[in-house]
Each structure stands twice: as C-alpha cells, then as structure tokens.
Amino acid sequence: MYSVLIFLTFCFHFINGQTVNIKIGAICTDAADPQVLQLALYDILQNNFIIPQIAFGFEFRNGCKDGTGLDYVSELHYSHNVSALIGPNCSEDIDCVSKLVTIWNLPVITYAASVKSEKRASPVSRIAPTTANTLCDSIITIMKELNLDKLVLFYNTGDSNVVSQALYLIKVLNGENIQSRNFELQSTNVTWFEFNGMVNIEEVQKFTRVIILLMGDSLDENLIVLQHLRRAGITASDYVIFLPWINEDPEKSYPWLENTISPINRSATVTVNDNTKKDFIGTYVIDSDNNGTTTTIQFSNLLLNKSQEFTRQNRNKLSRAFVLYDSLKLLILAVNQSYTQMGHLGAFNSSLMLQQISGITFEGASGVVEMDYNNERIPFYSLYEIRDDSDFNIYQIAKISPIKYITESNQTTYYLKMSGLDQSTKDKLKSKTAEPACGFQGYKCDYSKWYVISGTITVIVIAIGIGYYLKKRGPNGFRRIFTSNKTVAQLSWHIPIEKVEMIKDESPRALSQKSESELSAASGLIRHVGITNETAIVYNNIVKIRRFKQLKNINFDQTEAQFLLSLKQLVHDNINPIIGLCYNNPTNELLVLSKFCSRGTLSEYLHNPEMRMDGKFKTAFLRDIINGLDYLHNAPIGYHGNLTTSNCVIDANFIVKLVSVGMEDLLEDWKDNNLIEDIEDTTTSKMDIRPINEHPDEELLFRAPELLRKAPPIRPKLIRMSKNEQIRIKLMCRMADIYSMGILFFEVLFRQHPYADVQTPVEVIVNKIRTPTRQLLRPTLPKVIEKEHHPAMIQLMQACWSEDPISRPPIKRVKKLFSTVYKVRGGLVDSIIQMMDQHANSLEKQVRERTRLLEEAQLRADRLLAQMIPKDVARDLKLGRPVIPRGFDCTSVLFTDIVSFTTICSKSSPMEIVNFLNDLFTGYDAIISQTDAYKVETIGDAYLVVSGVPNENGTENVKVIATIALQMRQYLSQYKLPHIPDFKMEARWGLHSGPVAAGVVGLIAPRYCLFGDT
C-alpha cells in the first residue's frame, strides 16, 4: 500500500487569499490506475475544465476485496479528510461503502457493475457503461423486439455477483411474463460429467431456441459451457445464444486473441486462435455502445504516448482507463458547478455536489455520459455478432438506446429501445427461434398410432429372435439372458457382504492391530469416544456400520442411482464419505458403511472438560466446517440440511468432517416405503459414531426458523421435481445451512450448548423460534468475551442468525471474511502438526494428573489392606503369590469383652451402639499400634489380639499381651458412654499362651484367621 499526494496548482486569482484544495481519495484495483488518474487530471486541466481557483489532489490506496476496500474508505475519511472518493470498484465492498457514505454524506464515484439493490438516489454514483441491472434490462428489450417469450438461462453459482445478476434477471423475466428454464452450474470449469448431471439437455431442446449464459464478467468464462453445449448438439447454427458482457477485469479481452512476443525485439503481436473462436462463432454479445468521442481519441493518444501499460489491441484496459477518466471528470464538473453557486463553501458542500451530478451530461472518454436522477449512468448498449472471419473484433448489428420521457410526477426517466437491426438479420433470428406447430422436438403432436404399429412389429421381431435363441441355447437360455441384472451389484456404492470383515474385539488394542496408522490416538481417548458400535474392515479401511432390518429387496431406479452416485462422489477433506451399502443379503440386513473417525463427534469433544482448546484449535475447526459447507453448496447435492455439532466428526488428524449428508433422506424414504426398519435394541449409533441423543429435539435448535415452519422435501422427492423448483428449494436450504452454521459457531467459540441459559424445555424453545415475536430468541452471548474472539466473527455469527434468509451472508462471503480475519501461516500440514503438539501436551498433563490420582488411591488401598491383613501377607496377595498357612509355636492371645453389654444394648439405639463401640475400639486400636501385636478381629463387643503372629518374638509376646491388657483397663476406667454418662464401664480380659495356626480364609473379603487350642 502506498500513498501519493499530488497537487496541481496554477495561475489564478485569490478569493479571500486562499486556494480551494480538493483532496480526492482513490481506491485502485490495478497497478496502472494511479498513472491513469494523474494523466486524466492533466488532460482535463489542459482542456480548461477546471476553475482556476480550485486545485485537485489524490490520496491513493491499492487493493480491494476481502474487506480491504472498506478499511481504506474509513481511513481516507477519518485520517485524510478526503472530499470525495473514486472507487472502490469491487462489488463485494460497494454495498457496505454505500451505507457508510450515506451517513457521512460523502460523494463516491464508482465504476462497479454489480446489481444495485435500491432504486433511489444515494451518495454513490455509478458511471460504468455496463451494469448488471441495465444489462438485464437490455436482455428484456431484445426479447420484446424479437417477440420471444421463452429462454434458457445458465448461470454460475460459484460467483456471488453472477448469482445476484441471475436472480435479478429471473425476477424481471417473471414480471414481463417471459418463461425461463434456469440451470445452475457450480463453476466456469464444470466438467462434462457434471454438466450432463445438472442440465437436462432434452428439456432445453424441447423448451426453446434462446439461450443466455451468465458465467462471469468476461467472455472467456463462457468457453467451457459453449463447448459442452456444442457436444450436446446445441450450436449457434440452430440456437440464438446471447452472451451478456460486463467485463470488469482489464486483463481480460476477447478469448480468441493471443499475444505473441517476438524473440528479436520483444514486441507483441496479436493473433487469432481459430480453435477457440470456433466455439463463439454465431453467438451474440450484449455490450456497451463503443462509439467514441473526440475526448476518446485525445485521451487514448495521451495514454499510448505516456505509458507502456497500454496498447491499441488491449481493448479492455483502454476501456477501463476511459471509465476512470470519466469518473474524475464527473467529479470535477460537480465541484466546479458547486463552487460557481456558493464559492469556497460550495466546493466542500457534499449535498450540493450530489445535486450537480444528478442529470449532468458531458463528453467523456467512454462516450457521451448522461446521469439520471438516481445518480446512475444512462446506458447505451449494442448487440454484437461474432462472425467466422480472421478479424479481431466483433460486429455491431443493433443498438439499444435510452428513450427519455417525463412521468406524471414531472420526473425525467427513460426506457430502452432496440434499433438498427436490419431485416435479414431479424428474419434469421426469428427463423431460429420460431417454434414449429408440433414443438421443437415434435412433443405437441400425437404419434401414438405410429408408436403402436412400430412397437407391435418390434415386439414380434424380438419374440422371434428370443425364441430362436432359446431353441439354440437350450433350457439355460433365460438364465444367460438375465444375468445382466447382476450388474446392479457392481455399482460403485455396493459392497458385497463377504468384503465386510467384522471386528469382534472392539477394544482399542484390537483396532490398532487392524490399522495402527488410522488409530494412533491414545487408548484412553478412544475409550472416551465410545467404540461401542459395530466396526469392520472394508478394503483395508476401518468403517462404522449402521444396521437396518431389510424387509424387501432393494432395487434402484435411475433417479436413485444417480443420487447415490452423487453421494459417492462427494470427495473432500472435510466431508466424511459414505463407503457404500451392503444390501439384499441372506441375513436380510441393510448395512450403511461410513468411514471411521477415531476422535468422536465435535459435540463430544467440545463438552469434554479434559480437552483444552485454544483459539487456534477453534478457528481450525471452524475453517474445516466452512470449507466443507462451501464444497457442498457448490456440489450437485447443493446443501447439507441438518448441520449440527453432532453431525461433525473429528478424525485422527484433528480434521473436522461433515456427516449425514443426504443418506438420511434416502433411508427415510425407504422406511416410508416399508423397505427397511430400525433394529430394536441396537448399539449402533445414528451415523458416523454420532451418539444416541437423549433429547432428539435438541437437533432442532440448530434448524433455521423457516424450516421449522415448513420442512423441505427429502432429497429422493426433490430430485423428481422440476428444475426450477429444485433451484428454489436448494437456495432456501443453503440459507438455512448458514443459520445452522451460525448456531454451530456459537457452540464452538464459547464451548456451551445454545440456549443453555434458557430454563425452559427444548420443545418450548423450538416453538418460540418457529413462531417469532418482536423479540427474537437467539443464543445469549457471554457477558465477557475473550480477546481471541474477533469482533468481526461475532458480528458474522449474529448475521447468520438473521430471521430473513436473504439477509444471511452466503458461504463464499463467510469464507472470505473468515480468511481475512484469521490468516493462516504455513500449510495445512503445519497447522495439523501444531494442533497435534498441543493435543499431546494436553494428554501429557492428563496422564500426569491421573497418575498422581492413581498413586494416591494406591496408597489409600495399601493402608486399608495393611489394617485388614498383615503387611507381609498383603504383599504376597498383591503380587499374586499363594498365602500358605503357617504354624507358630510360641504366641500369646488376648480376649476381651464388655460386662453387661446386653443391658447397655437395651438402653441404646442401634446407631448409639455402633458409635459407642467404634469410639471404644478406636482407643484399643491406638494402644495396639504402639506394640508388637496384631489385631485379629472384633465380633460384637468381643476384641481379639495376638502377639507373636505373624512376627515371631520368642517369649516377649507374654509381656506384650499383659501390657496391652493393663493399658486397656486404664483406658476403660476413664471412658464414659456418650449417651449414658453415669454408667460405669467394666470389661473382662483373658490371656493365654501356646501354639496356633494362621492363614488367609476365603477370596471375597479375605480375613487373616487363627486356629488352635490356645
């Protein structure tokens, strides 16, 4: 980005002793634009179009699209205080700029050719010779002049500007009662296979002989579609093909022209590529009327002499320079008139300048410029024919000019009228487009009688042939004839049952043995995602299996086969593919096989508190979702239809993939036709390891309000509808996907369920979304939003929640804004490695924390076991060694119980007894813990202690036991019952010495017991 400020001052007389300096902000999209504007200012000055008291200067900014144009406009207004703007030219920014400059009351001259949504005056003046609105109006004029009432429209859905233009044209056609058949093509580089799947050639041939291609802003973007049409038998010799040409790009010219650089003097020579031109021969181009003026000749000579950027052969670049010249001249003339009326103040009066622009007429470089009272340039179009010759140019055959008139409200306006079309050309066009009495393909006439006769003859001939064949082949003839039905089993989505190798052991170890590279995630995480569903190996891929009970044989008609093929062809990094179907098996089961993703659903991952996610993780997940949805919106399938966090899965490389695309609709259709039914008590989840939702209505929280009010038809029914109806429903569902994506954004960014703060049942929330009031119900943003959440993304998310589907941003705009806000450094592999490093660090922290908890639990278990069983015996049990009973020759045993325990029990509740015994025996335990003795057990009020077991201590055990008895007596003499404090506690003690046997008895709750006469 660079800034150049140039002021041209010259001799003048002073007003109040000051020069009026007008600073113009210019947002350029081509490297030559600054030089063009400087030369234009020089030429306008030389021709005395500038009042001597005024000096003009520029503040240049280079760049447009991706939101940069909007940033530059704000900078030029606030930081540089420009008086007017030229640009931006990019259609993505001009709508937003229009709203801002309306508030600022700042004049803007733009040459953008996008559709203008408002038919009223605004600070934005459009001076482009061709605009999307007026180009569509010129098409209507041509149709009326030739009395045509039907056309076929092909347009590119991959270009948002083209989509806007196509929708505007369809709206105008409907208003003029002109029928149209509209076909969406996902890009200008559509393949023949894709073209053949999206376009019903037979319908085109039956409907009309008039075709319009809206594939982009320049002619070369129509080339591939023209080639496909020619391959399908639709050529310019039989059809009238119109190519509207907006042409915003100065680098694009006629597609059949090639620049050849001489190796000797490096001079450029323009030649005609006949192979390319043959596809355009006979078509008709609708473009601006290129009648130049003296200004055109003068300024073009100046450009050719002063700049090496321009040549006479590069028509497009010269045309763009002419429009820049006219933009500057329009602005200068408006300033001149404002200054003449109000002097120094008038030159800075934006409202007055805008008034001067309305209705102004002047000679420009791009022709005569006439502005209407909505600050739009009045168009002058021509119809051109591309002929079979070696000339570089195209031939003008008619003009489409404005005819002015005054309305009842005394305002001057215009309509377009076609003129100059000679009678022979008109007759040629009408002969191509005239529909025969029986229709273009004879479908209006009844040929049934001849069909019956020919059909009868054909059946007889075939029957004779079959009889002869069977006679020669013998009894197995029929079997050989109908073996072709087995080709159904060879369809790309069909998986033979013998190819499905079930994984019996569903542990992580078993899966890793099958494909270690696929399941490199930690076993704990795999255990977390719940590999409880059936898994299998199919063609060396681990797949998830969803089972259904098959009630009847499944046979595919052509429509279903095409639909399944389109599902199978969904190949993208962010789409989890359907591997195939296994049906018509001896087990009477339908198996739906999809690729296994080891890290579970996005919903599970988001709401697992052990999984740490920073901003990079979240943006990577969102980028994957946007890319996947963008691919679907441009694929023949058209939309997702049920986008939720449960319908997104994460593979081993932390790539998010969209699931449940289209297959659910087909399964629902088969259920309605009683072909399949769900298997009860199955552990198989819905699709692609999606968990069984305890509240199935929660998925409705992601659904757009318009779909809650009226659900679209399932895809098997949709693909049987008319093309126009399919286009309408697909557009509606794409906008609904944007709403669902906005709700999904909320859950990813803030890691909380949508509407989690609303304390009402899900059904009530869904009903409020379905029937909105003045206060719309949407997820509530947290009071404190972290810095990692860019404000632009929050605004984008809220824009996706709009109640009006048209107000929601298309996926292309979402993708551009997201890429602008979150610029990714490095490639995809770098991002994945960084994400996996972060995840590995998170897992290491989890392992350390869980190891610490395990060690603490182990210590508690060891202490508890040591209190129940001697340490040596416990160690043998932990190590799995058998505990062999032992005999001890010299031991001493102590027995003690409480006197009058029955009386105490009669005066106490059970809980009081338990508490009192626990308190008393805890004191006894403290005494024993300080001696070389072992507490064997307690039974009721009896307490048993031994010394010399398991640690032999000779005759010392007698002294130890006697000491314990005395200490117990001393402790008891001071003990008082908590609930009967006046009761005097008494006990009996018995001591004996001799041999005993000791060992562990039992496996459940094992005890260390003593046996013997002692």
Mean pLDDT over 848-856 rounds to 85
Instruction: Say whether pLDDT at 1 is over 70.
Output: no
pLDDT, one tens digit per residue, over 138-151 is 999 999 988 888 99
Q: What is the pLDDT of residues 127-185, one digit of tens each?
A: 888 787 888 889 999 999 888 889 999 999 888 778 888 888 888 888 888 999 999 88
Torsional sign, CA 162, 168, 171, 176? negative
pLDDT of residue 21: 85
Q: What pLDDT is recorded for position 153?
A: 93
pLDDT at 536 (0 to 100): 86
Q: How far apart are CA 388 and CA 385, in angstroms?
A: 10
Residues 6+ apart with CB under 8 A from 545: 500, 533, 534, 535, 536, 591, 592, 593, 684
pLDDT of residue 518: 42
How much is the pLDDT for 519?
40
User: 3-class DSSP state for residue 972?
Assistant: helix
Contacts with 378 (C-beta within 8 Å, 6 or more apart), sequence order: 370, 371, 372, 402, 414
Per-residue pLDDT at 582 exceeds 70 = yes
Highest mean pLDDT among 308-312, 442-446, 766-770: 766-770
3-state secondary structure 831-847: HHHHHHHHHHHHHHHHH
Residue 810 has what DSSP assignment? P
- What pLDDT is recorded for position 835? 66
146-169: b or e for each residue (b if 16 or more CB lie within 10 Å)? bebbbbbbbbbbbbbbbbbbbebb
* Spatial contact of 286 and 135, defined as CB atoms under 8 Å apart: yes
Per the listing, tokens 């930690």 go with 522
Q: Are the CB atoms for 287 and 248 separated by under 8 Å?
A: no
The reported pLDDT for the residue numbered 744 is 94
| Res. 796: pLDDT tops 80 | yes
Residues paired with residue 244 on neighbouring β-strands, in sequence order: 286
- Cα–Cα dist 370/510, whole Å: 78
Q: What is the mean pLDDT of residues 990-998?
A: 90
Range 665-673, long-range pairs (CB < 8 A, 24+ positions) = 665/641, 665/714, 665/715, 665/716, 666/560, 666/563, 666/564, 666/714, 666/715, 666/716, 667/548, 667/592, 668/714, 669/714, 669/716, 669/717, 670/554, 670/590
Of 819, 738, 822, 810, give the one whose Cα is nearest residue 91. 810
Lowest mean per-residue pLDDT among 377-386, 505-514, 621-630, 667-676: 505-514
pLDDT at 200 over 80: yes
702 falls in which pLDDT band (50, 70, 90)?
very high
Q: What is the mean pLDDT of residues 53-82?
A: 80
How confident is the model at residue 122, as a pLDDT?
66
Which are the contacts of 853, defined by CB distance < 8 A and separation ≥ 6? none
Task: Please give the full DSSP string across 273-308, using - where no structure is assigned.
Answer: -HHHHTTTTT-EEEEE-----HHHHHHHHHHHHH-T
Lowest mean pLDDT among 397-411, 640-654, 916-930: 397-411
**Most confident of the following: 213-217, 258-262, 460-464, 1004-1008:** 213-217
Are β-strands 395-406 and 381-385 bridged in parallel, bridged antiparallel, or unpaired?
Answer: antiparallel
What's the distance, Cα to Cα, between the start and end of the chain in Å? 102
SS (H, E, C) 158-201: CCHHHHHHHHHHHHHHHHCCCEEEEEEECCCCCCHHHHHHHCCH
Give yes or no for residue 231 having a pLDDT over 80.
yes
Say what the pLDDT of residue 999 is: 83
Q: How high is the pLDDT of residue 91?
A: 67
C-alpha 67 chain-centroid distance: 20
Q: What is the mean pLDDT of residues 831-844?
A: 71
Residue bearing the bigger pLDDT, 628 or 696: 628
**pLDDT above 70 covers what percent of the chain?**
82
Maximum average pLDDT range among 69-78, 84-93, 409-418, 644-653: 644-653
Q: Which of 257, 438, 294 is nearest to 368 (CA)?
A: 294
Rg of the Cα atoms in the chain: 43
Identify the pLDDT of residue 824. Answer: 57
pLDDT for 290 equals 65
Q: By the 8 A CB rule, do 315 and 259 touch?
A: no
Q: Is the pLDDT of residue 693 over 60?
A: no
- pLDDT exceeds cutoff 50 at 262: no
Hey, which bits of 94-158 come out as E strands? 108-110, 124-126, 150-156
Cβ atoms < 10 Å from Cβ of 418: 19
The answer to whether 319 touches 111, Cβ cutoff 8 Å, is: no
- Given a cut of 50, is residue 446 above it in pLDDT? yes
Domains and CATH numbers, the chain: 20-127+319-370 (3.40.50.2300), 132-288+378-433 (3.40.50.2300), 448-488 (no CATH), 491-823 (1.10.510.10), 868-1011 (3.30.70.1230)
The residues with which 381 forms a beta bridge, in sequence order, are 288, 400
The mean of the pLDDT values for the chain is: 80
CB within 8 A of 294, min separation 6: which ones? 363
